[in-house]
Amino acid sequence: MDQASPPFAAAVPDVTAERADQRILCGDCLDLLPSLEAGSVDVVVTSPPYNLGIAYRGYRDRLAEDEYLDWMVRVAGALRRVLRPDGSFFLNIAGSPREPWLPFELIVRLRPLFVLQNHIAWVKSIAVGADSVGHFKPVAGRRFLHHNHEHIFHLTLTGDVQLDRLAVGVPFKDKSNIARRGHAQDLRCRGNTWFIPYETVQSRDAKFNHPGTFPVALPRQCIRLHGKPGATVLDPFMGTGTTLVAARLEGARGIGMEIDPSYVAVARERLGAV
């Protein structure tokens, strides 16, 4: 494959679907992003392919590492152009037990383009004492622990974007801290570990036949944390439209880009039911 070519199995025609507050574009995000106005997006929430060999329909998720990183840098550069100066880019990505360095290799490559303002650990399953909550994909063998979390890198252009931390806050455990420390309400910052488990599903149909969905609660929390009412939210790897569903639920305008027409069809159906 030519290094400059997008790593997709086949080109597909661009199809645009307008649904009032949500806009869906079908095609390669590198072809579609130049059509957006510079500085027009408040929040980017996305989970790109992880390059771990996941079985997507229209994308080859197993590139040489440098090829994948070069491609992601190109995508990030295009996102930088459309992000507002006070915008937030929430990048969800994970490594694997055999390839743990990939997320960190990528974030270092993005350093010339963005400031890493926050690094959030998305916890999908956790054990406390003898109890456990949430779900994980088991890891075979005896060398590695089960992989129970993923990364959310919060990137900004300046590093000083003001957030609404209490919009995703949690009540104080020790209520005496409310008055003693001068808090106006029973809420504190959630911190940079977010426990957001998947709902239990019994089949791929329940995940819209997509191998890499995330819970709606995840992009909702990102949008709330950014804290701009009526924000414009972009997901350049929309998949089945989870970020756009979250945007609608949060009263935000959404723009989704997806190369696979079958996933675009699912996203349209999901938005019609919201």
How do residues 186-205 score in pLDDT, each as one tens digit? 999 999 999 999 886 555 55
Helix (H, G, I), strand (E, B) or coil at 186: coil
**Residue type at 86 in one-letter notation:** D
Going edge to edge, which strands form the sheet with 149-156? Answer: 15-19, 22-26, 253-258, 232-235, 41-46, 83-93, 149-156, 115-123, 193-195
pTM: 0.86
Element (H, E) at 31: helix 29-32
Contacts of 135 (CB under 8 A, 6+ apart): 124, 125, 197, 198, 200
Helix (H, G, I), strand (E, B) or coil at 63: coil
pLDDT band at 7 (very low <50, low <70, confident <90, very high): very low
Dihedral-angle region of residue 94 (phi above 0 means left; psi in -120 to 50 means alpha; beta otherwise): beta
Between 42 and 147, the higher pLDDT residue = 42
CA of 121: how far to CAs of 90, 215, 265, in Å?
Answer: 12, 15, 31
Contact indicator for 254, 247 with CB cutoff of 8 Å: yes
Does residue 245 carry a pLDDT above 90?
Answer: yes
The third-level CATH classification (topology) of the domain covering 15-273 is Rossmann fold (3.40.50)
- 263 phi/psi in degrees, rounded to 5: -70, -35
pLDDT band at 100 (very low <50, low <70, confident <90, very high): confident
With CA atoms as reference, report the closest residue to 221 among 118, 148, 115: 118
Does residue 62 carry a pLDDT above 90?
Answer: no
Mean pLDDT of the chain, nearest integer: 86
- Residue length, the chain? 274
Q: Report how far residue 257's alpha carbon sits from residue 27's, in angstroms, rounded to the nearest whole number.
A: 7
Does residue 120 carry a pLDDT above 50?
Answer: yes
